[in-house]
Structure formats: structure tokens, C-alpha cells
Amino acid sequence: MMVELHDPVVALMRQVGRDIVMPRYQNLAAEEISEKAANDFVTIADKESEIRLAEGLGSILPEAGVIGEEACAADPSILDRAGDGLNWIIDPIDGTGNFASGKPPFGIMIALADNGATLAGWILDPLTGRLCHATLGGGSHVDGERIMAKESDGALPIAAISTIFMEAAERAEMERKSQAIFTMVDIPRCAAEQYPRLVLGQNDVSIFARVLPWDHAAGTLFVNEAGGCCQRLDGSAYRVGEQRRGLMGASSPRLWDLAAKTYYA
């Protein structure tokens, strides 16, 4: 089934990127940007993108439900069924804060999950056209080419840690523990960019405090199918629909273990 779905899903994502997302890039009026919560933005492009993606995915696989970020913002009860049955998971624009500021990175993320297990994921950068995708048991690909995750070549492994949703004391503790073990860097505020960085040798570890399915379903599968390791902080597998904090990805199982011992032992 995944093979048959791939081409129409990619065509839909590229069409939405071309016709809805990119025409609004660096071209948003002030009234077309709003804040759902602190540091959590939405634009007219997010809303229009999600509507078109939901319609298109519903046509591609009518038996699947749709769990979209903006639909869940309007009706949080939708999120309660994210782990039940077959569902499309949609992030219409990931990295909306960047997009609204007129700067990269940002992306479109789609996943297909069955009872909480991610079967396939797609991550499109509409600005560059780069497409990352993975299928369960079928490996990871970038622009159609099979890829395996690689570690960075820095003196110390590079840890990109999402501290924006951490308390100040927790942020300070992460910085202290990183010393002499990891080089700690800022995240790009965009999971659609952060997950590829783990596979492409740019970052070695990523830690996310807030875990929502549209941000992580596609990316965790992409990292794991590339030979990296993305799990909950207790070492359990990530599953769509589990509403709890904490997720860590790494470019290799070895570095995942090192990060777990460094930050959470």
C-alpha cells in the first residue's frame, strides 16, 4: 500500500507548497498572523494548507481519519483519537514562527499511522524542494535516494536541544550536563529541519520536551529507518497518540545511549 500512496502524497504536498505556502512566504499581512499560545503561531497559510492537504489525503485514502494541527487547535478532542485506527497526521507548516518571520527553515510534514504505529512519513522543504520520506521496514530516502544516518565529524557530538518549552532550571541543567561531552547548539525551531539534520550528519542528538504527533510522527520514522535511534526518554518506542512529554533522537544507537546517560541517568 505504501508504494501506491507515495506518488500521490508527494504530488499533493508539492502542489500545496507551490500554490499555498510559497506565495505567502515573506508576503503575510499582520492580520494574517496570530498566536495560539506563547511561542505558538498560526498563519492564514497554515489554515489553507491544512484544508487542502486534508481534502487531498481524504481522496487518496478515504478509509483513514485525519489529525491536523490546526483542526486540533480548534477542537482538542480530535487529538484523543490520534492513536486509534488508521490516521493521516498533518503539519501544514512546521516552523510557523520562522515562516511568519519570513525566514527558513519551515516545512510540510505528513505521516500515516495505524493504531499509533507510524507506517510512512514525508517531510517537504517547500523552499528548496528537498523531500525526505520513510516507510516502516522500507528505509529512509532523500530526494528518492536511500540514505543511512551518519554522525557528525566534530570534536564533540552535537546536541540540539529544544529548551523553549523547558523551565529555566531544566534548561540550565541541560547546559551544565552537556559540558565536555556534547557541543550544545540551538535548534532551528522546526522539526521538519531538525530530523533531517540527525540523518545528514549535521547534528548528533536532538531532545524535544513537547511531543505532538504532527511534529514527530514522520521524523521519528525517518531517523529510525535510516539507522538512527529515536525513542522516548525511557527507551520505549514513540507511538502516535501518547500524550506525554519527552523524546530524544540520535544519529546512532551509540549516541542515543550516551545522551541518555548524560542527561537522564
Task: Identify whether the C-beta of residue 95 lies closer than 8 Å to the C-beta of residue 73.
Answer: no
Cell 535510516, residue? Answer: 226
Residue 146: phi and psi, rounded to 5, are -60, 140
Task: Identify whether the C-beta of residue 195 lies closer than 8 Å to the C-beta of residue 103.
Answer: no
Nearest to 223 by CA among 243, 234, 208: 208
Entry field: residues in the chain: 265
Nearest to 159 by CA among 141, 134, 176: 176
**Residue 94 in marked binding region:** yes
**Residue 69 in marked binding region:** yes
**Residue 93 in marked binding region:** yes
Going from the C-alpha of 179 to that of each of 158, 182, 236, the distances in angstroms are: 11, 6, 27
Is the peptide bond prior to 105 cis by the omega test (within 30 degrees of 0)?
yes
Cβ-proximal residues to 47 (8 Å cutoff; 6+ apart), any chain: 70, 92
Half-sphere exposure of 66 (CA within 13 A, CB side): 20
Residue 36: phi and psi, rounded to 5, are -75, -35
Is the four-CA dihedral 217, 219, 223, 229 of positive or negative sign? negative
Rg (CA), the chain: 17
**Residue 46 in marked binding region:** no
**Residue 75 in marked binding region:** no
Nearest to 227 by CA among 201, 204, 251: 251
Numbered residues of the known binding site for Mg(2+): 69, 91, 93-94, 215
Numbered residues of the known binding site: 69, 91, 93-94, 215
